Chain A
Amino acid sequence: MTETASYDLQCLGVSKNYGAVRAVRDVSFDIPNGSFFSILGPSGCGKTTLMRMIAGFEEPSAGDIRIKDRSVLNTPPNRRNVKMVFQHLALFPMMNVYENIAYGLRCNRMSKAEIERRVSDVLARIELPDVADREIHQLSGGQKQRIAIARCMVLDPDVLLLDEPLGALDLKLREAMKIELKLLQHQFNTTFIYITHDQSEALVMSDYVAIMNAGRFEQIGTPQELYHKPKTAFVAGFVGDANRWPCRVVEAFGTTLRVETEIGLPLTGVACGRNPPMQAGAHGELFVRPEFIRAERVRTDGSPERAGPLNVIPGIIDSQLFNGAKSRVLVRGPQGMRIEADVTLTGGEEDLRPGEKVELSWPAEQTRCFAAAGSATGADPGAEPA
């Protein structure tokens, strides 16, 4: 990002240890103004700890946190202009909607008239102008969500933190809220930092996503970059679905690799990751997304010609996993190796059925090979160059 840009939030080498447990390790990132930034990771990866440090509920063991270019390490949580939407929202049940939203303004000793003006203004912006006098328990799940955001936004924060706020909602509402959150962020034009373990939430809403694992950031990028250009095996496995096979490199031509899977199946792939180029004999792991694998009936008249280097293997359909447009087949390959491939199931005669022999093919450049040792877990901090 450009040298003149000022950042809403910067973390510089932030770490947090609880005794011997290293919850967050040397995390650094900057978030440009007004973006939707997600931190995505499995539970226990340290993302909540990181967020609580930004909000000021925890102190970092090392590193610096800057908001609008000013360090906030010595600012107590009630003086930081970082507001937070909690996992279970933490709306105050003994106050009504108006009092909930006015709470922060009252803490700032604002005049009554001004508070009233701002509350009705923010209620209008979240399109709930008439709920001011309602009690919290009278609201629906989606309305509570928006009130929790309004309660923060009325204070005009530099950064809004959201800690998995959609977790408690049912599936349909969650889908609707994803879009709504994105729209709200555009409307307020404030930086949102969104914490989640649900990749579809992160991918759909965010401008940038950081993948966090075992206390550290694996990769930061746009959703497309993470999906199509994963830099580590963890990211390749965590974001989206992938077939995963351990393998051994037979020959290396630059980044193009000829590899053999555990069962001796020869395939062509590309070397990925930040590590030095893989050499012949190195052990690695292959990732192939199901949507790049074509499954076709074996024809007696031979396969049609295809362009580019391809991996082709035979298989037998084990079962059909029908899920509308996202349908899939489970294929048993050579020596019982299992492969998932996306297919279109129309309900007609053409559909693949269990027991049928098929040929699976996918391009070599969609066969990503990552070095095996430690990279999947990122457990060894010394091995990875910054």
Chain B
Amino acid sequence: MSARKSPSLMLIGYRLYIAAFFVFLAAPLVAAGTFAFNDSLFPSLPWQGFTLDWFFSATEPKLGMFHDRRLLSGLYYSFVIATCVSALSVFVGTCNAFLFVRHYFPGKNALYVVMILPLVIPGVILGIALLVLASTIANSLEQATGIELSFLRPGIVLVVLGQFSFIVTIASLVIVARLRKFDMAMEEAALNLGASRARVLATVTLPYLRPAMIAAGIVGFLVSFENFNTTLFLVGSEAPLTVIMYDRMVKVGSTPVLNAVSLVLMLGSGVLALVSILVQRDRSPS
């Protein structure tokens, strides 16, 4: 800012600050990742030597993550949940984008704010509110008719719905931003060249939206995968990975297998985040 007054000293100080910030940013992640390779039963110093046991060992006490059934089932449920949430969010987000960019109806601006609202409701609240509603409905239904609707009880369906309720906002915002940049003349050009409305949508508009839809899908997937606050209240017997890791951390006491899982998750989310950034970059620098 005032760097131009005494450029050298100010700038060096500024750079040091930025460097310190990135050290701060990296330190816990590096710590979480590095101890995955420590040949010790505890994720702490001293360093006992390098090992890959925490990934691949099949025997106790150093049961590697790829042989730990609980962890693997958590990974599987996380994956299933994240895939459902991401697909649903992209679909509804695309509908929302067309609704808010292409249509005019009374109360549109107010509804647009309503669409953003789930992003400023704490995740814990979204979780308990959905839990309360679903349980109330399930209870009264059971009392009145004796029918038990199991999907209204904590479980995978509720987790998906709970996460979806705010992730769809993120997806909508990403896709809305892209659709706003769309030049309507392109649709008219396609019509003018003889395409039907459905064909225009399939060959011009949706391909144009594809980068945003992919990015929204990836971001939705990542947010769902790492979500804990909303999930915590809605989870049933099919616990996703974050919940299992939390239980281990609090109850069992951590072994480096958690570091191994953390490292895999960090790498996975890093790669996916990179992909989502790359697909959103426009090919044409117009």
> A residues bordering B, Cβ < 8 Å?
55, 57, 77-80, 82-84, 86-88, 90-94, 103-104, 107-108, 135-137, 151-152, 155
Contacts and interface: CB of A to CB of B under 8 A. Distances in A.
The binding surface of chain B is classed by DSSP as helix
Contact of A90 (B185, B203, B210): B185
A79 B199 CA distance: 14
Contacts of B286: 93, 137
B61 interface: no
A5 B51 CA distance: 91
Contact of A77 (B183, B185, B192, B203): B192
A93 B188 CA distance: 15
B149 interface: no
B268 interface: no
A86 B183 CA distance: 11
Given A86-B188, A90-B186, A103-B190, 8 more contacts: A79-B194, A83-B193, A84-B189, A86-B185, A94-B204, A107-B196, A108-B194, A152-B193
A283 B4 CA distance: 66
Contact of B183 (A55, A90, A107, A155): A90
Select the residue from A78, A86, A92, A137 with max chain B CB neighbours within 10 A.
A78
Interface residues of B, number: 22
Contacts of B194: 78-79, 104, 107-108, 155
Contacts, number: 70
Given A94-B207, A135-B284, A137-B284, A78 B185 contact: no
A260 B193 CA distance: 57
Contact of A78 (B183, B196, B210, B283): B196
Contacts of B186: 90, 92
A92 B200 CA distance: 11
B188 A107 contact: no
Interface string B79-109: 0000000000000000000000000000000
A152 B192 CA distance: 9
Contacts of B284: 93, 135-137
A247 B186 CA distance: 50
A165 to B, nearest CB: 11
A88 B193 contact: no
